[in-house]
Amino acid sequence: MPSNQGPRQQSANPEPAFRIRDLHSSNGGPYTLDASKGECIAIRGASGSGKSVFLRMVADLDPNTGEVSLDGMPRARTPAPAWRRKVIYQAAEAAWWEPTAALHFSPAEKDFALPLLARLGLGTNLMDSPIARLSTGERQRLALIRSLSRQPVVLLLDEPTSSLDQESTAAVEGLLRELMGKGLCLLMVTHSPEQAQRLGTRIMEIEQGRMRHQHHNSQPY
């Protein structure tokens, strides 16, 4: 069963590290919110409501207007490659452009990644296996490890456990909770209300490309 620990408790009035102001495009918005280090904002809504579009705008992968800043530095003044290493977007089905997972990691990133394989129930041999031969769940966990190995400040996750069984989901949630405890900020799309309760310090609802409301999670699972 997925871990039933509630979301990490935040200190009173934590200083926001991540600010979004009037973020919008022709496909959604405007969105305005603050997120603190160690916080997880769980994003919910019907399929096609604009959740993935919102994450892609935050990552500056889709055309958008508005203001986004990280630790006081505006996105507009940050080179795009540097921004996307600090604020990483991971799609539900991540892209792979090399034949094996190992080729997507620098030596330092591989050193960071190897201990995480066992944590997520993956053998080290999978790093050198052809991507095409891996299951969807294996690719999804390897993609998460790839994202984490870049040590982002903010991680934008789009359905990170959609292809996983309960045991693997629990392992992923446990790892994310541990990293939240070290300051990682998460914006995470999930269709699971239980997962939103387990990980989310706040829950944000999107409907037809608009943020309808957000509330603090005062009822841990």
Number of H helices, E strands in the chain: 6, 10
| pLDDT confidence of residue 201 | 95
Dihedral pair phi/psi, residue 54, rounded to 5°: -60, -50
In a domain, 203, yes or no: yes
Is the pLDDT at 131 greater than 50? The verdict is yes
Neighbours of 193 (CB within 10 A): 13
What dihedral do alpha carbons 15, 199, 4, 50 form, nearest 10°?
160
In a domain, 24, yes or no: no
In a domain, 179, yes or no: yes
User: Looking up tokens 């990552």, which residue turns up?
Assistant: 59
Q: What's the predicted TM-score (pTM) here?
A: 0.90
Q: What is the pLDDT of residues 4-42, one digit of tens each?
A: 555 444 444 455 689 999 999 999 999 999 999 999 999
In a domain, 132, yes or no: yes
Is the pLDDT at 175 greater than 70? The verdict is yes
Mean pLDDT for the chain overall: 91
| pLDDT confidence of residue 10 | 44
| pLDDT confidence of residue 8 | 45
Coil vs helix vs strand at 104 = helix
| pLDDT confidence of residue 142 | 98
Domain, as residue range, for 201: 38-46+80-211
In a domain, 32, yes or no: no
| pLDDT confidence of residue 7 | 46
Q: How many percent of the chain have pLDDT more than 90? A: 87
Strands, E assignment, 64-198:
65-70, 73-74, 87-90, 154-158, 185-189
* Helix%, strand%, coil% for the chain, nearest 5: 35, 30, 35
What burial class does residue 141 get, using C-beta atoms within 10 Å of its C-beta: 0-12 exposed, 13-18 middle, 19+ buried?
buried
In a domain, 135, yes or no: yes
| pLDDT confidence of residue 85 | 94
Q: How far apart are CA 185 and CA 191, in angstroms?
A: 19
Confidence band, pLDDT 50/70/90 cuts, at residue 212 = confident
Q: What is the pLDDT of residues 51-100, one digit of tens each?
A: 999 999 999 999 999 999 999 999 999 999 999 999 999 999 999 999 99
CATH number at residue 130: 3.40.50.300
Strands, E assignment, 133-201:
154-158, 185-189
Q: How many domains does the chain have?
A: 1
In a domain, 31, yes or no: no
In a domain, 55, yes or no: no
